[in-house]
Amino acid sequence: MSTTEAVIRPETPADGRRIEALLDHAFGPGRFVKVSERVREFARFRPDLSFCAEADGEVVGLVRLWDIHIGQTPALFLGPLAVHSGRRLDGLGGRLVEHAGAVADARGEGPILLVGDPPFFERFGYAAPPTAGVRLPGPVDPRRVLVRGASQPLSGPVRP
C-alpha cells in the first residue's frame, strides 16, 4: 500500500465497485449481520455527506452518513467507516470522521449517532451517556452506542 497522502473527496456513484472492495477487505462478510447494517437498510443515504479517501487512484478510506430519527429527533447515522489495512496507522480514519462531522456541522445537521469503538471515537467528541435511551434494531453493546452533537439525552427507537 502506498504512503502517498490520501485526499478526502465526496463519494461518487463511480466509486461503487471500489467501495465494495474496500468494505469486503475491511470487514468481510460479517458486516452484513451487524446492527449498523439493519439501520442502513431503512435509513436514507446522504451522498452529500459521504466521503472517500483516495491515494494513487485507489479508494483507501470511506465514511458515510445517513438520515435517521431517534424517537422524534432528526439525526445522522455514521457508518461504515472503513480504512484499508495498509493505511490504518496514519490517522486516515480520524481524518474521515472529522471531515464528515465538520461538513455536517457546517450544514446545520443534528446529532450524529454511531456504533463503534469508544476509545477511538471519544477523541472526536462522541460519548455514550446521551444514548442510554436509544433503541437500535437489534442487539448491541450499549457502551458502543455513541453520539456527538446532542444537546440533551436522546431516547426512542432509531427509525427512518
Whole-prediction pTM value? 0.94
pLDDT in tens, the chain (160 residues): 557 899 999 999 999 999 999 999 988 877 767 899 999 999 999 999 999 999 999 999 999 999 999 999 999 999 999 999 988 888 999 999 999 999 999 999 999 999 999 999 999 999 999 999 999 999 999 999 999 999 999 999 999 9
Q: Give the pLDDT of residue 2.
A: 57
> Nearest-CA neighbor of 83 among 23, 144, 125?
23
Give yes or no for a contact between 78 and 124, defined as CB atoms under 8 angstroms apart. no
Instruction: Give dist(CA 69, CA 57) in Å, integer.
Output: 36
Instruction: Give dist(CA 17, CA 109) in Å, integer.
Output: 29
Q: Give the pLDDT of residue 86.
A: 87
Instruction: Give dist(CA 3, CA 97) in Å, integer.
Output: 20
Question: Which grid coordinates belong to 8?
Answer: 478526502
| 7-159 CATH fold | Aminopeptidase (3.40.630)
Q: Give the pLDDT of residue 29.
A: 76
Question: Which grid coordinates belong to 62?
Answer: 470511506
CB-based burial label for 94 (10 Å; 0-12, 13-18, 19+): middle
| Residue spans per domain, the chain | 7-159
